[in-house]
Amino acid sequence: MKRIRLLLRLLTIQRVLVRHGLDEFISSTHLYRPLKYLFYLSPAVWFSRSERSKPRGVRIREALEELGPIFVKFGQSLSTRQDLLPPDIGIELAKLQDKVPPFSSEQALEIVAQAYKRPAEEVFAGFQPEALAAASIAQVHRARLHSGEDVVVKILRPNVREHIERDLEVMYAIAKLAYRYWSDGWRLRPVELVEEYEMTVLNELDLMREAANAAQLRRNFSGSNQIYVPEVYWDFCRPDAMVMEFIEGIPISDMDALRDAGTNIPLLAENGVEIFFTQVFRDNFFHADMHPGNIFVDVSDPDNPRYAAIDFGIVGTLDDKDRRYLAENFLAFFERDYNRVARLHVDSGWVPPDTRVAELESAVRTVCEPIFNKPLKDISFGNVLLQLFKAARQFDVRIQPQLMLLQKTLVNIEGLGREMYPELDLWETAQPVLKRWMTEQSGPVATAKRVRADLPDVRYVMQHLPAAARRLVGQVLEPPKSGAPAKPEDDYPHRIRRYTGMSGAAVLLSGAILIGLAAEPQWLGRIMAVTGLLMLWMGRPRQRDSR
């Protein structure tokens, strides 16, 4: 049954592409290419001449809209890179950011009534049935609370979960075929990428989770003069509906309006880069859906403009190891230390351990050196990405699925920067933020925070250590009881070895604690760990002792 459903969906995709005159996509992807001609026999194609006669960009946008949420989100991601798209396609795909056709007012009122178990006119003092904006998964409506606050109500599209799960099946099928038959499949890990994407997109369907994400981001940037996050009204939040503060601002994509308002565009662009790196490295919690439809600008003070973000369904986090490796990679890259970049890739396991560092260093230098000290407008990132992909194939670099959201967000940020202020020096803006974070991670303040976090465990160990040590020392030093038969383990050399081994275990544990806390100086913990291992080896039982 599942295979039949999958086949029907693939045929539907092909039918939509043919109906919108996108036959070349079928031919280039080999997607049931022979069946293309069968669709020419369908009356739906005969009477779709008006669809096929539309401009190319319009046909692509409308096809993505018809195919559903997954395809709309794909178009949104593409739209952030106008520099890599033909102008006619880029302009049309940009409409997917906040101009997706909404569902009807009747359906919206019905969904609100189901979410709150009572009609919208009872829940709110005022509710506009016409959508304020619509996107791939949800749409928003203006409303007013009985307490007087102007808010927006976000509700999910009808049957959106079923549509997404259906298309995830298609993505899994294609990913498994790619892994099995594509020579680069094992390295690009397509199935794991789809798994990561599935977790992300299904999380978007829980609006209580989105409300929690918004609250966390608001707390992280409380008092910031760079970005504002609207307030969440928790009493009105449900899994399929949420209510947030209504904010006003100029869409980030409306550059003409920003310039007319006298906005400090260079500062705005620099702040955008700093906000991104602050979210990733300081907070380890970043907005991962930063396409232009989700970002506005408050220009009440044009010399010090402030971002206002919405739509927090997708956020990203990294584990500590990946975050530190990324920061070190960025810094090494900014400082043109390509040997360090190569060694970090080996240490992190992103390339095979037998990779020759010198060759990887040379490949990275060849790709990256030409782009330094150039503004965004003079950098062909499409060419850079192509060269990096070739280098990745040469050295068997494995894709890291857990970094997918970060890479997607980086692409969005770079695309926004190119649109806003092409003269932006990305490296010069990001480097101080990363250096500050690295300093904070290895400084006394960070060590104190880690010690405070581990204080309950440390307190427990310290409370029980004296008694345990006293028992161990007593066992080692106490002479045999008078009249008791002598045991081999009671001889003096054996007791000394046992004492040495126990002491080694204590020294090893102490060194491990210092390493785990990243305490300064860092070499002390390593020396203690090595010393403890040596003492354990010296205190090991001899063959005669174990008889």
What confidence tier does 28 reach under pLDDT thresholds 50, 70, 90?
very low
With cut-offs at 50, 70 and 90, classify the pLDDT of residue 444.
low
Confidence check: pLDDT of 124 > 80: yes
Of 41, 70, 97, the position where a domain reaches its end is: 97
Owning domain of residue 49:
2-97
Does one domain contain both 273 and 304?
Answer: yes
Task: Give catalytic residues, as residue numbers.
Answer: 289
| DSSP of 329-376 | HHHHHHTT-HHHHHHHHHHTTSS-TT--HHHHHHHHHHHHGGGTT--G
Cβ contact 252:297 at 8 Å: yes
Same domain, residue pair 272 and 315: yes
Range of lowest pLDDT (106-115, 225-234, 284-293, 428-437):
428-437
Q: Which of 97, 119, 140 is the last residue of a domain?
A: 97
Residue 399 located in a structural domain: yes
Q: Which residue has the higher pLDDT, 192 or 234?
A: 234
pLDDT tens profile 328-383? 888 888 788 888 888 888 887 777 888 888 888 888 888 778 777 676 666 655 55
Region class of 140: left (phi > 0), else alpha (psi between -120 and 50), else beta: beta
**Crossing angle of helices 492-516/522-538, nearest 10°?**
160
129-133, 134-138, 158-162, 188-192 — most confident range? 129-133
Largest CA distance in the chain: 109
At residue 175, the 3 state secondary structure works out as: helix
Same-domain pairing of 352 and 468: no
Q: Is residue 110 part of a domain?
A: no
Query: Is residue 391 situated within a structural domain?
Result: yes
Residues 292 and 386 in one domain: yes
| pLDDT over 50 at 524, yes or no | yes
The top-scoring range by mean pLDDT among 64-78, 285-299, 458-472 is 285-299
Q: Say what percent of the chain tops pLDDT 90.
A: 22
Q: What angle do CA 148, 227, 303 make, to 5 degrees?
A: 105
Please determine, for residue 545, whether its predicted confidence score (pLDDT) is greater than 50.
Answer: no
For residues 180 and 275, state if they share a domain. no
Dist. CA 197–CA 176, nearest whole Å: 15
DSSP conformational letter for 243: E
The whole-number pLDDT of residue 360 equals 85
Is the pTM higher than 0.85? The answer reads: no
Contacts of 180 (CB under 8 A, 6+ apart): none
Contact of 191 with 176, CB cutoff 8 Å = yes
Q: Above 70 in pLDDT, residue 8?
A: yes
The reply to whether 514 and 400 lie within a common domain is no
Query: What is the pLDDT averaged over residues 480-499?
Result: 56
Q: Which residues pair with 150 in a beta bridge?
A: 144
416 and 335 in one domain?
yes
Q: Give the chain's mean pLDDT.
A: 76
**Does any domain span residue 276?**
yes
Last residue of a domain, one of 62, 79, 97: 97
Contact 106, 130 (CB under 8 A): no
What pLDDT does 224 receive? 93
State the total domains in the chain.
4
Give residue 213's region: left, alpha or beta (phi > 0; psi -120 to 50): alpha
Using the predicted structure, report yes or no on whether residue 31 has a pLDDT greater than 50: no
Tell me if 205 sits within 8 A of 137, measured CB to CB: yes
DSSP 264-289: -HHHHHHHHHHHHHIIIIIIS-EE--
